[in-house]
Amino acid sequence: MVDCSGQGVLFIEAEADVTLDQFGDALRPPFPCMEELLYEVPGSSSILHTPLLLIQVTRLLCEGFIFAIRFNHTMCDGLGLRQFLSGLGEIARGATSPSTLPVWERELFCSSDQPRGEKYQVPHTNGTPDDMVHKSLFFTTTDISAFRRLIPIDIQRCSTFEVLSACLWRCRTIALQPDPKEDMPFLWPVNVRKIFNPPVPVGYYGNVMAFAAAISTAGDLCNKPLGYALELMMKVKSDVTKGHIRSISDLMAFKGRLYFTDINAYTVSDLTSARFDEVDIGWGKAAYGGAAKGRPGMSYLVPYTNNKGEPGIAIPVCLPSGVMERFVKELNNMLGKSGHDVLEHELPVLSKL
């Protein structure tokens, strides 16, 4: 529920004595000085009783600017945010209204009049270490093909997201060095717009996704081949149905919000289809569009072209400092590489903005 108070959204204008070039050749997460590029307005970081949007526009010396936004995920998913930003861009370029009008029909996902079946379970919260570090991985199409050669022929039709996620899940587990009997949950949001009949209305901007959850013991993930993790993911994804979505909606309504920030749990979200970099608010295509950084236990797949012109996928990762090196080493071993080939070079140190 939204209290339409008429207060608008939080909007900040800022200036920085730096140019875009000073952020380095590789414009991908994690970005430096984020606490200044998106000011932490007191009282704006919770879920309930907080603003829906926080936007900061920072103008640079080179006449470029950084458009940073934090949104309340209870209101929309990535595609819903893309719809909002595209409409905002259309109005900024002179339109009187968005070409796709917003629709809010959340009752489509409720089933309070239906029998309640299996409930959706997620890991509990144990907290996260204090020594977390942020890094960025980059995988070219050649890297992704190399990963595909490691999986059985009968599951070669899996998506790029599934291949990369299975690799990340397995290598992260090896790097964390948990007890072999410990459960290592992997969660990812599944876009379920195509499941509903009649279809979800055009313009609906709310969350149309469900978190699928695959669980394996650490021992099985570490010792079995990559295809094992991949098959677990594909089996779980095939079980996501309209009834599953409504069961989740019911469970949240009756049991409260679900949390899955246990250090063992890992979530990967696919932002490749959102194409935030293509949003035009009057200045053309952005140099980068997507998540600013990963979070503890959560990464994103972001479309990205490096400074050599190679298309691929950037993945921001946040891990304890002692784990990151082992994680990157495992990924490079799978690719048959040495060194830190998939790891982003260290970012330049910027002065205070």
Would you name the residues annotated as active-site residues?
73, 280
CA distance 197 to 249: 17
* CA–CA separation, 250 and 202 (whole Å): 24
DSSP of 12-41, one letter per residue? EEEE-S--GGGG-S---SSPTTHHHHS---
- Which amino acid makes up residue 47? I
CB-based contact 270:314 (threshold 8 Å): no
Sign of the CA dihedral running 283, 285, 290, 292: negative
Q: What is the dihedral of CA 69, 41, 299, 195, to 10 degrees?
A: -60
Vertex 84, ends 29 and 106: CA angle to 5°? 110
* Torsion from C-alpha of 249, 254, 257, 259, nearest 10 degrees: -90
Torsion on CA atoms 155, 300, 61, 281, rounded to nearest 10: 80
Q: What is the DSSP letter of 113?
A: T
DSSP string covering 179-235, please? -TTSEEEEEEEEE-TTT-SSPPPTTB-S--EEEEEEEEEHHHHHHS-HHHHHHHHHH
